[in-house]
Amino acid sequence: MADSWLGSVARATMQTYCDAVLQIPELTPHSTKQLATDIDYLINVMDALGLQPSRTLHNIVMLLKAKPEDYRQVSKGLPRRLATTVAAMRGVDY
Whole-angstrom distance, CA of residue 46 vs CA of residue 58: 12
Residue 2: Cβ within 10 Å count:
6
**Residues whose CB is less than 8 angstroms from the CB of residue 55 and which lie 6 or more positions away in sequence, other chains included:** none
DSSP letter for each residue of 59-72: HHHHHHHS-GGGHH
Give me the number of domains the chain comprises. Answer: 1
Q: What is the pLDDT along the chain (94 residues), one digit of tens a residue?
A: 667 888 899 999 999 999 999 999 999 999 999 999 999 999 999 999 899 999 999 999 999 999 999 999 999 999 999 999 999 999 999 8
- Rg value, the chain, Cα: 14
**Residues whose CB is less than 8 angstroms from the CB of residue 17 and which lie 6 or more positions away in sequence, other chains included:** 42, 57
Range(s) of the domain holding residue 12 = 2-90
pTM strictly above 0.85: yes
69 DSSP assignment: G
